[in-house]
Structure 1
Amino acid sequence: MISRELLQQRCTGHLLCALTLLEAAGTLALMSYALLWEAGNLVNLSDKRIGFYNFCLWNETARELQCLEYKHLQVMGISPPGVVLARVCVYTCLVFSIFYPIFLAHVMCADKTEDWKVILIILIIQKIILSGGLGTFLFQTSQWIHPSDFTGGFLALVGTQALLLFQILTATMYLSWAKHTLLRQSPFTEEALPIEI
């Protein structure tokens, strides 16, 4: 018969796993919205469109948005290699987000605590490269973007940052829970004994 304490421990583990899956799904949804649906545009207004692939400003003479090329950006003090680096970092994070749930599902099926350390490392790497890419891009373009200009793409990336932080905390809690559970299960406790057929 399973003790009440063991049942609570298992419920806690399942709850943390479910929470991690929900956070991973939310991260993928936000990243997909920002980088695919919004095409990487952090500012998407009628008179301004600025993103990882676009830098368009309103041209008063032509009365339309004029998208600038890399040579024009360089004249304006924006480093094209810096923009490319920011784009690579952010879109690499999207690739991580696509394949991460598959790895997460595998870890949950295998039920190996050691693999959760790998999950934690992946999440930290994701957070670092997303922060680095977004920070680099905003540093390069801050002269042309006001805080009130940001639209859905930027807000989705900020939400992604928050969800990545929550995932790191959840994975840390799971590792702490697993360590605590293993310590409590000595070789002579009922739950550690092999099941007889």
Structure 2
Amino acid sequence: MGLLQQKIGARLLYWIMCLLAAGAIILMLYALIWEAGNIVNLPNKRIGFYNFCLWNQTTGELQCLEFKDLIEMGIGQVGMVLTRVSVYFVQVLCLFSPFFIMQAKCVNTREAWEVNLVVQGISVVLLSGGLSLFLFQTRVWIQCSELSWGFLALVGAQALLLLQLFAAAAYLKWFKPGPSKGSPPPEKQLPPLKV
């Protein structure tokens, strides 16, 4: 009965990882494509990975600042580039994540599941690091009450990626390799040599 429960648990974890990957893809696409990466999206303020627009009192409209203006305001150029690269790279990893999961399931080797675990770990670290660095650099201009649905979608994607990482680690813990295609069944294999 223990082997059957283990197989059912492993299959359930596989499907949970696929669902979590799909959810993370949807949330990342919503935050970075639909919301254009904007963390704050208000009529008088738009701050995101590619936008930094503040209300100009004299003209009565949003004024989008350029990179040189951001440097004068104390926002580092390297930090902004790192946040963009890390967050958008996670989106690419999320898009390929289901393929890593399916490939690991088809190949069914420990190494394939370890690669999947590493990819999930990289995604979690890059998204949390990029989002934290962005919030740290723009903390003067962003209030908690101003955060948009795009920010909540990124936080939700981070939670799903973390759950997917835990599911992949649990799957690796329960991993039992199946017999390879060219090998005889276990009952016909020779016993190990005793020295």
Q: TM-score range by the shorter chain?
A: 0.7 to 0.9
Residue 89 (structure 2) pairs with residue 95 (structure 1): no
What amino acid does structure 1 have at the position aligned with 2:148?
A: T
Q: Percent identity?
A: 52
1:7 offset after TM fit, Å?
2.6
Deviations 1:2-27 (A, max 9, x none): xx443322211110100000011111
Matches within 5 A, 1:180-195: 192-193=186-187
Matches within 5 A, 1:170-189: 170-178=167-175
Deviations 1:171-196 (A, max 9, x none): 11111112xx57xxxxxxxx9436xx
User: Which residue matches 2:73?
Assistant: 76
Matches within 5 A, 1:23-102: 23-102=20-99
- Structure 1: how far apart are the matches of 2:31 and 2:93? 15
- Structure 2: how far apart are the matches of 1:176 and 1:35? 34
- Structure 1: how far apart are the matches of 2:4 and 2:76? 57
User: Which residue matches 2:151?
Assistant: 154
User: Which residue matches 2:106?
Assistant: 109
What amino acid does structure 1 have at the position aligned with 2:156?
A: G
- Structure 2: how far apart are the matches of 1:30 and 1:193? 48
Count of residues in correspondence between the two structures? 182
CA contact (8 A) 2:103 2:112 kept: no
What amino acid does structure 1 have at the position aligned with 2:26?
A: A
- Structural RMSD (CA): 1.7
Deviations 1:148-187 (A, max 9, x none): 1101111011111111110111111111112xx57xxxxx
What amino acid does structure 1 have at the position aligned with 2:109?
A: K
- Structure 2: how far apart are the matches of 1:11 and 1:192? 21
Q: Which has the higher helix share?
A: 1
TM-score, L = length of structure 1: 0.87
TM-score, L = length of structure 2: 0.88
User: Which residue matches 1:169?
Assistant: 166
1:81 offset after TM fit, Å?
2.0
